[in-house]
């Protein structure tokens, strides 16, 4: 995870599992894994990732963007105005 001090944004890698039985965010072997029920069709899984993160973090969806590899399961996510410590605490990943 990297924080950009000039813009106070947090960028980190996640693994996405579309078509899961239930939505959840977990840490598996050191990797943040985001499971969503939507299939990877018409950008629905990416939208579900953003919605789940926003809901769990209690922030607006507009603060979250998928900035790297939008078509693959390994993605780069960027969140504005959030520190790594805040994210881990809010997502219960510590």
Residue 2 has what pLDDT? 56
- Which structural domain, as residue segments, surrounds residue 53? 2-90
Cβ within 8 Å of residue 79, ≥6 positions away: 9, 10, 53, 57, 59, 63, 64, 65, 87
Residue 92 has what pLDDT? 81
What is the DSSP secondary-structure string of 28-89? ETTEEEEE-SS-SSTTHHHHHHHHHHHHHHTS-GGGEEEEE-TTSSEEEEEEET--HHHHHH
**Interval 13-69: pLDDT, tens:** 999 999 999 999 998 888 999 999 999 999 999 999 999 999 999 999 999 999 988
Residue 35 has what pLDDT? 97
More confident residue, 81 or 68: 81
Q: How many structural domains comprise the chain?
A: 1
3-state secondary structure of 90: helix
Name the pLDDT band for 7 (thresholds 50, 70, 90). low
Q: Which residue is it, tokens 């780069």? A: 76
Identify the CATH number of the domain in which residue 33 sits.
3.30.1200.10
pLDDT over 80 (residue 79): yes
């Amino acid at each position: 995870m990297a924080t950009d001090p000039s813009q106070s944004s947090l960028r980190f890698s996640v693994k996405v599992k579309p078509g899961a039985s239930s939505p959840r965010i977990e840490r598996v072997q050191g990797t943040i894994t985001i499971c969503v029920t939507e299939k990877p069709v018409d950008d629905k899984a990416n939208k579900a990732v953003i919605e789940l993160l926003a809901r769990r973090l209690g922030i607006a969806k507009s603060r979250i963007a998928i900035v790297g590899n939008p078509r693959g399961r390994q993605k780069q996510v960027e969140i504005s105005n959030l520190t790594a410590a805040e994210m881990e605490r809010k997502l219960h990943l510590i």
